[in-house]
Amino acid sequence: MATQVADSVTASSVEPINEKALLSPDTTKAGDASSERPASSIDSKSVVEASVPGAPVGPVKTPPTNPLPGCSPAPRAELTAEEQTKYDEVLATVTAWTEIPNTSAKNAPTAPLTENEQLWLTRECILRYLRATKWHVPQASKRLLETIVWRREYGVEGFTADYIAPENGTGKQVIYGYDNEGRSCLYLNPNKQNTKQGERQVQHLVYMLERVIELNPPGQETLALLINFKESSASSNPSVATGKQVLNILQNHYPERLGRALISHLPWYVTAFFKLISPFIDPLTKTKMKFNEPLTDHVPASQLIKNSGGEVDFTYDHDVYWPALNSICDQKRKEYKERWVSAGKKIGESEAYLKGGEGSAPVTAVAAPAPTLAEEVKAEEPVKA
């Protein structure tokens, strides 16, 4: 699915790009969906360059598990009193959910929230959906429910490493290194497409999104996409329907997760495809897309793969990389859940604590009673993230 996702969220050409004409992003307003923390006055690139270890001696075949010293996000501002009140309202709502539908079909059978679904409903998760809906409490609650139902229906937790492995046999998606703000980097390499278009390509993307999120350090909620169209061909260009499906998943079920999309070596046919799907990409997502910029402006050279302009002599060996990546993620996932269990299995737990952040502590607040599920899901139309 590397090609599908890359094509569906990017476009331009190998010639000089008029980004304003292609993207025409709206000016960001306070509280807009997919908004990130205010830009720091400190240049993260200059901080990283002050003193960083050199690249590992190659060929490297496994991913690093931590960003370089100095590569970390600035902390988010404290919630205002109004924002805290709205958070508390959503927390109360989701805590009161007893059973939810198993599918999006009308009158679908229901089942109780599983432990993993309760674990997914962290403090930061709830806040991401509030930001994505401009702090609209009913819409945030509704969209959280829709995502949990989607995760059940799509089978996100059922995608195993063995099932997804054939899609990644050539390394068309690689998680390697961290950018200047500590975001885990997911490389999409369309030129390494090895399968025909099908649902498992989309599932492959979802699987890798889940892994890249697990590899993020404490305090970092977003990820970096590095999309390289060098030597790619038009034959792997996805359909508009597939592009829309991917965008729906990214924008509706992974809101506030994209930090940067760094896109390079763009062929003409991606520009054409982009123009077809551009109306479906929300303006703030477009502002995070960077075209043909030196990737070392965003990622330390010692954690950037050579064919992207870095210093890391990385070779994709599926028999080495794939089990290593999944072993690392399995261990992180295990520790994450163990901390949640130790802290009392609370909805609204802190991700910084769950990821083992230094000095972090579990949440101690208890949610108040909330409206019933039937009251909660009265149909307001969802907004795009």
pLDDT at 366: 43
26-30, 128-132, 133-137: lowest mean pLDDT where? Answer: 26-30
Ramachandran bin of 382, using left for φ above 0, alpha for ψ from -120 to 50, beta for the remaining angles? beta
Are 355 and 340 in contact by the 8 Å Cβ rule? The answer is no
The residue assigned the tokens 């892994």 is 211
Rounded Cα distance, 207 and 161, in Å? 9
- Residue 67: which of 212, 219, 174, 184 has the closest Cα? 184
The domains located in the chain, with CATH, are: 81-355 (3.40.525.10)
What average pLDDT does this structure show over 218-244? Answer: 80
Rounded Cα distance, 219 and 182, in Å? 9
How many CB atoms within 10 Å of residue 307?
A: 14
Ramachandran bin of 163, using left for φ above 0, alpha for ψ from -120 to 50, beta for the remaining angles? alpha
31-40, 129-138, 202-211: lowest mean pLDDT where? Answer: 31-40
DSSP 46-102: HHHHHS-PPPPPS-B-S--SSPPTT--PPPPPPPPHHHHHHHHHHHHHHHT--EEES
Q: Is the pLDDT of residue 296 over 70?
A: yes
Question: Could you give the 3-state DSSP secondary structure of residue 305?
Answer: strand
Whether pTM exceeds 0.85:
no
What average pLDDT does this structure show over 293-297? Answer: 95
What average pLDDT does this structure show over 51-55? Answer: 65
Q: Is the pLDDT of residue 149 over 70?
A: yes
**175-212 tens-digit pLDDT:** 999 999 999 999 999 889 899 888 999 999 999 999 99
Half-sphere exposure of 26 (CA within 13 A, CB side): 13
Rounded Cα distance, 86 and 130, in Å? 8
pLDDT at 14: 35
- E-strand stretches of 179-302: 184-188, 223-228, 258-264, 289-291
Which residues, listed in sequence order, are joined to residue 314 by a DSSP beta bridge?
Answer: 60
pLDDT at 238: 61
**pLDDT band at 232, cuts 50/70/90?**
confident
pLDDT at 230: 82
pLDDT at 384: 40
More confident residue, 379 or 274: 274
Share of the chain above pLDDT 70, in %: 76
More confident residue, 7 or 104: 104
Rounded Cα distance, 60 and 57, in Å? 7
pLDDT at 285: 81
